[in-house]
Amino acid sequence: MAEILPLKAWRYNEKLAQNLEDLTAPLFDVVSTKQREVLYGNPLNSIHLSVPQGENPSENAQKILLRWKSEGVLDQDSLPGIYVYYQYFRLPGDHEESCRKGFIAQIKAYDWEEKQILRHESTIVSAVNDRIDLLRATEIQASPTHGLYEDESTELEFHMDAAIASPLYELEDYQGVREVLCVIHDAKVISRFLAVLADKKVILADGHHRLEGAIEYKKLQQNAFPEAKWKGSDYHLMYLTNVHGNHLKILPTHRLFYGLDLSEAELLDRIGLWFDIRPFGDADELVNYTFQRKWSFGLILSEEAYVIKFKPDRFEEVRPELPESLRNLDLVILHHILFEKILGLNGEQQRKSDQLAFERNFSRCVREVRYGKASFAIITREIELEQVLEVCKSGAVMPQKSTYFYPKALGGLLFGSIKQEEFDYDYGAFFDQTTR
């Protein structure tokens, strides 16, 4: 049973919010080095809380946050609310604008074993520890994770559509996405949000490291505030979107490999034992190839490009211990056969290796190989939402960077505090008799 609560968000003061585009930032794990340099140039940009700088970044974030609060850079809303969040976007080639509808609330940071929030990717310990340190120092969350829920009735969309007509903010973000945020304070309407989510499981689309950090921080604080009915450290900021009747896009993430100790001819010989190989010609044109057949990929070498298709008669050799829904995934085939069996990197080594990189930008993949920086690139196709749901429900996890839900939520639109004195409220007013 997924328990959510409204939140008393911290937001940039009214005057600063007039230029909110200059204060928001990409999520900590997608912001590029060059983007960071630009954003750090603004002393009030939210990146100073989400990706702090310096030898003691968490302590620096704490000092910045205290200063922003004392100087009125950030103000806390006096009443808890559900923050409706719509993202309007077009993908290349789209003529019609899409809209992903959702809302931001606080959700209990359930342990994975409780199976109320289902994950589909494993995490990297060092990245989780960074998030724990930041939570411990600041007790605030600068960006929401992204969760999916299934509600065929689409009841909440009626309330969200009504609220979005009176936006708090409307801006264009770094992705070219039109971001619109509003708030619902009506207790009866908020109670419906709590009731609808009360019998749902949530599938984590984005933010595995941030949520795992929140789970671990909750454990560290388990003995704090024993008299509190609702403890801030038990909750986590999440953007929730309905799987049904929504524009949920998953884009592919390609693979780059560096420092190959084989010749290209030797690599092709080894790949040929497992994959059918067809010369493609111009690597730049692979971006238009649809990869309709499962288990097929683009391979870019220094002078040539290929389409490689896994040989179905060798499927029995692929991870027989895994559930069928996971074994069938393109990226499981790719990581197990190419990176493990052919190149000798086991799963743990793949997660930690600096030879393997992940890249969403197709043109950058071509450039990295063409200019001799990367040894080769693998071009992948997007995973289907139904596959993600199936894997999550099986309890298994996918290879890292299997999904890239688009668009990404934006950091700095609002901040969720788990500091007890700022979190405290009689949330019982939002639970009607049917949800208790």
pLDDT by residue (tens digit) across 173-202? 988 999 999 999 999 999 999 999 999 999
Average pLDDT over residues 199-215: 92
Nearest to 434 by CA among 143, 198, 81: 198
Tokens at residue 352, please?
């930690």
Contact 280, 311 (CB under 8 A): no
Look at residue 434 and tell me whether its pLDDT is greater than 60: no
Look at residue 123 and tell me whether its pLDDT is greater than 80: no
Q: What does the radius of gyration of the chain's CA atoms come to, in whole angstroms? A: 23
- The pLDDT of residue 433 is 44
- The pLDDT of residue 125 is 63
Average pLDDT score over the chain: 92
Strand partners, 61: none
- Token pair 């140039």 is found at 41
- The pLDDT of residue 52 is 94
Tokens at residue 266, please?
């030797």
pTM score, two decimals?
0.91
Tokens at residue 125, please?
């310990």
Average pLDDT over residues 48-67: 95
Strand partners, 332: none
- The pLDDT of residue 124 is 67
Strand partners, 202: 117
Average pLDDT over residues 90-110: 92
Look at residue 71 and tell me whether its pLDDT is greater than 50: yes
Answer positive or negative: Cα dihedral of 195, 425, 208, 415.
positive
* Distance in angstroms (rounded) separating the CA atoms of residues 11 and 128: 25
The number of residues in the chain equals 436
Helix or strand (DSSP H, E) at 182:
strand 178-184
Look at residue 435 and tell me whether its pLDDT is greater than 50: no
167, 267, 268, 309, 356 from 272: Cα distances, Å: 56, 9, 6, 10, 21
Nearest to 357 by CA among 283, 271, 253, 285: 253
Angle, CA of 216, 409 and 51, to the nearest 5°: 55
* Distance in angstroms (rounded) separating the CA atoms of residues 173 and 409: 10
Q: Count other Cβ atoms within 10 Å, centred on residue 64.
A: 18
Contacts of 283 (CB under 8 A, 6+ apart): 298, 300, 304, 305, 366, 369, 370
- The pLDDT of residue 420 is 97
- The pLDDT of residue 306 is 96
Q: Which residue has the higher pLDDT, 209 or 61?
A: 61
